[in-house]
Amino acid sequence: MINEIEKVLVSEDEIKVAVKNLANQLNIDYAGEKPIVVCILKGSIFFTADLVRELNIPVTIDFMSVSSYGSGTISSGELKVKKDLSFDITGRHVILIEDIIDSGNTLYKLKNLLLERNPASIKIAALLNKPDRRVTPINADYCCFTIPDEFVVGYGLDYDERYRTLKDVCVLSRSVYEK
Ligand code: 5GP
Ligand code: MG
């Protein structure tokens, strides 16, 4: 596994600090509220789990699984909902927890879909942001790390379901996906 990883991009310690800082900010911004925290499966599982345990406001946790189909490596086309929310978000404050914003297509479509359900608000919290790859103009309201245009794995992010359980966010060696 070691030589399949090119380098550590964001270490476990850096992630811990950033998650704590994000939680502190959410504790302030949502004081007195009970937001719904939506973990977008599967990449956001560890990020969500670590984040909610640093919150001191009451939250409802829910899960959603979506995919954008299209050609090539850029997600495009229709948004397919593979697993919908369990809760009604009408009138609720929603915080979408995303692992990484790349082209922005998935989140743009997901946010619009959820806005049709008339929530009180929707904000996006992303662990990682790759602004160089943006196709659709959407930005995270909260973002932990801005990273260069590299394919990363770990801390929930996978390549073909592998590497999710790495504790750091790492750059995957090109040899893994170019062979
Ligand atoms: P977007 O619609 O913004 O292009 O796609 C975002 C999704 O693509 C992310 O939720 C993630 O699943 C996947 N993705 C984008 N960049 C990366 C990356 O560097 N590594 C991994 N593992 N997934 C990525
Ligand atoms: Mg994803």
Cα 101 to ligand 1 centroid, rounded to whole Å: 6
Instruction: Give pLDDT tens digits for 108-155.
Output: 999 999 999 999 999 999 999 999 989 998 999 999 999 999 999 999
Torsion-angle region of residue 72: left (phi > 0), alpha (psi -120 to 50) or beta?
left
Residue 77, pLDDT > 90, answer no
pLDDT at 1: 63
Tens of pLDDT, residues 10-21: 999 999 999 999
Q: What is the pLDDT of residue 78?
A: 82
Nearest residue (CA) to ligand 1, atom 8: 102
Ligand 1 pocket, residue 129 CB under 6 Å = no
Cβ 100 under 6 angstroms from ligand 1: yes
Q: How far is CA 24 from the centre of its chain?
A: 18
pLDDT at 69 over 80: no
pTM of structure: 0.94
pLDDT number for residue 73: 54
For this structure, is 102 an active site residue?
A: yes
The per-residue pLDDT for 178 is 86
For residue 31, the CA-to-ligand 1 centroid distance in Å is: 31
Range 20-27 average pLDDT:
98
Domain residue limits, the chain:
13-147
Residue 174 burial (C-beta neighbours within 10 Å; 0-12, 13-18, 19+): exposed
- In the reported structure, the alpha carbon of residue 150 is separated from the centroid of ligand 2 by a whole-number distance in angstroms of 15
| 43 Cβ inside 6 Å of ligand 1 | yes
Q: How far is CA 154 from CA 5, 51, 56, 64, 165, in A?
A: 10, 16, 27, 20, 6
pLDDT of 158 over the 90 cut = yes
CATH of 13-147, picked from 3.40.50.2020, 2.30.110.10, 3.40.50.2300, 1.10.579.10, is 3.40.50.2020
Please pick, among 29, 50, 99, 102, the residue that the annotation labels catalytic: 102
For residue 68, give the ligand 1 atom closest to its CA: 2
Classify residue 82 as left (phi > 0), alpha (psi -120 to 50) or beta: alpha
